[in-house]
Amino acid sequence: MDRYFVEATKMTPQIELDPINKVFSMSGNSRPENPMQFYKPIFEWLTAYIESSDDKMVFKVKMDYFNTSTSKVLLDLFELFEKFASNKDIHVVWYYQSDDEEMQEAGEELLDLVEISYEVKEI
């Protein structure tokens, strides 16, 4: 599969999905005008990749800020991972700055709602 890369903007995160170098990450801010339009290709890419690969996937989330629409998108993403969790090796790492309790709690709250392998890690 081809690498998928989207540069960060003030309102959308950087997305990197690189099957060769095994880098799967999103970082930055997320307040997209149209969340469905922005995130749809990412869901499609990840679904196709997980279905076709048996390699371990570590998905890294390093957000500075996101709105509640993005919270819903993130949960949908983790639910996608949950769907494959029984037969694929998928792990999520949620990073937060040491002084960002809000981001730590947001990660714990979201990941607590799904049954997947994850860690919430201070940077």
Applying CB under 8 A, the residues found at the interface with another protein are 10-11, 31-36, 65, 67-69, 71-73, 75-76, 99-102, 109-110, 113
Nearer to another protein, 75 or 93 (CB): 75
Q: How far apart (Å, rounded) are the C-alpha atoms in residues 82 and 8?
A: 27
The closest alpha carbon to 43, from 21, 10, 65, 72, belongs to: 72
Nearer to another protein, 65 or 84 (CB): 65
Given a contact cutoff of 8 angstroms between Cβ atoms, the answer to whether 6 and 41 are in contact is no
Nearer to another protein, 57 or 78 (CB): 78
Q: How far is the CB of 7 from another protein (least distance, A)?
A: 17
Given a contact cutoff of 8 angstroms between Cβ atoms, the answer to whether 11 and 29 are in contact is yes
Q: How far is the CB of 78 from another protein (least distance, A)?
A: 11
Nearer to another protein, 31 or 88 (CB): 31
**For the CA atoms of 64, 70, 74, 80, what is the dihedral angle to 10 degrees?**
-150
Q: How far apart (Å, rounded) are the C-alpha atoms in residues 72 and 64?
A: 16
Q: How far is the CB of 84 from another protein (least distance, A)?
A: 19
